[in-house]
Chain A
Amino acid sequence: MSSRRSRSRQQTGSSRNITDEQIADLVSKLQQLIPEIRNRPSDTQVSASKVLQETCNYIRSLHREVDDLSDRLSDLLATTDTDSAQAAIIRSLLSQ
């Protein structure tokens, strides 16, 4: 099963032609997604390494939140009876 797809070769070729402009463009898009940077009142441009650093911090904080929520959910799931569990699920699905 020789799986050397032509797409990977194409990607290697294009990776040499990646311009700084492309990367700056993607970095600015990423910047908009991170609440730390988005809510900052300053108008000045944030450096790319700062964006990446904040991205890492943001991802780590999201992972921590998932951990905490899984913990809470496992407690709640174990202690609620079936009827209230179903009611809770229906409530949350409807409220979105």
Chain B
Amino acid sequence: MISKGATWNSNSCRIKFARRFVSALLHMRNRNTRPGSLTIEGVRTHTQRIKIAAYLSMAQAVGSRRAWSRAVLSKHGSRARRHSRMGRSSVGLKKTRVIRSYPPGELGQAKKLRQLVPGGKTMDMCSLLEETAHYIKCLATQVKVMQTLADNFSK
């Protein structure tokens, strides 16, 4: 299912991401009003949590439509949503170890790309390129929203 170029809903994606990210930030803030959280370690993990919240919010805004968002959700979602590690694996695709023969061509650069795009290791070349394009658009949106937020905070 190849989306036809210019009809990508950047606005709805941006708004969905912004809402989720902001509510995650506020939630984090309410939990962190303890005095001990201003240590070096506390600040570092706070940054980590914000970073994870940002990627997670974007993946949630995209939903399961894309392979990369599914990969992000399955990596982090089980930690945020469920405290107990439940036995059932809802995403069956990840568990099957299928040895795919990667089609030849641009192998050197594609390997690095696979490491950067979530879920990229098991995609064939076409999917990898498509997912990369969508991933880049979403990342750029995410950065813009975070930038706007940071700018408004320091006013």
Q: Could you tell me which A residues sit within 8 Å of B by CB distance?
A: 1, 3-5, 8, 11-12, 15-16, 18, 20, 22-23, 26-27, 29-30, 33-34, 48-49, 52-53, 55-56, 58-60, 62-63, 65-67, 69-78, 80, 82, 84-85, 88-89, 91-93, 95-96
Contact = CB atoms under 8 A, between A and B. Distances in A.
B68 to A, nearest CB: 11
A15 B111 CA distance: 17
Interface string B79-106: 0000000000100110110101101011
A76 B28 CA distance: 13
Contacts of B148: 92, 95-96
Given A3-B96, A29-B133, A62 B139 contact: yes
Interface string B17-33: 01100100110110010
Nearest to A62: B139
Given A18-B125, A55-B132, A70 B54 contact: yes
